[in-house]
Amino acid sequence: MAAVNRNELKQLISDAFGSVPHPGPQNISNEHHCEECKEVVDGFADLTWQAIPIRTIDANYDKLPLFSPAAYHHFLPAFLQRSLDEPEGPTREFTFYSLTTKPDDWLKERTRLFTAAQIRCILLYLEFEQERFEELQNWLETDKVMTKRLAYWKGLLEKNIS
């Protein structure tokens, strides 16, 4: 993939995710699962990803795993863009981890909604972050781990193109 700068990547994310519909307040998270899930529902039910206040993202930097697949699809771009704007903040690390977790049922369920253009943005984001996030080396352990994670997204892109 061609390298992009931060502003270009932010615009690509806006373009690719701009029309993703809001999942509706009843489909943000399972509010009956736990108190934290209820807080996610309460905090995001009336927001679109384009209008989330920075303070809301910063206060919920670690909540992406609690979103339903539709809510993850809708709100992920706000977390991507915030992580690009605030490289030293925790949103960056947790957003990256949510995209590079082992491709299990959790990730597969969330990524089934993504279009080819959105997957391309995620691949560009992962490559962009990999280059500038030295701390990742501790988590990734070896380049093989990241290679496998990128292979998952590249395979998903191929399925969406065909």
Report if residue 95 sits inside a domain: yes
Report if residue 64 sits inside a domain: yes
Report if residue 36 sits inside a domain: yes
pLDDT in tens, 63-72: 999 999 999 9
Q: Which residues contact 22 (CB under 8 A, 6 or more apart)?
A: 48, 74
Say how far apart CA 76 and CA 140 lie, in whole Å.
22
Q: Which residues contact 65 (CB under 8 A, 6 or more apart)?
A: 98, 106
Number of compact structural domains in the chain: 1
Q: What pLDDT score was predicted for residue 116?
A: 95
Query: Which of 99-104's residues contact partners 24+ apart within 8 Å by CB, and which partners?
Result: 99/125, 99/126, 99/149, 99/153, 100/126, 100/140, 100/146, 100/149, 103/149, 103/152
Report if residue 147 sits inside a domain: yes
- In eight-state DSSP terms, residue 101 is S
pLDDT in tens, 5-61: 999 999 999 999 999 999 999 999 976 678 889 899 999 999 999 999 999 999 999
Report if residue 1 sits inside a domain: no
The verdict on pTM exceeding 0.85 is yes
Q: How much is the CA Rg of the chain, to the nearest whole Å? A: 15
Containing structural domain, residue 47: 6-161
Report if residue 11 sits inside a domain: yes
Report if residue 77 sits inside a domain: yes
Residue 105, exposed/middle/buried by CB under 10 A (0-12, 13-18, 19+)? Answer: exposed
- Would you say 79 and 57 are in contact if contact means Cβ atoms under 8 Å apart? yes
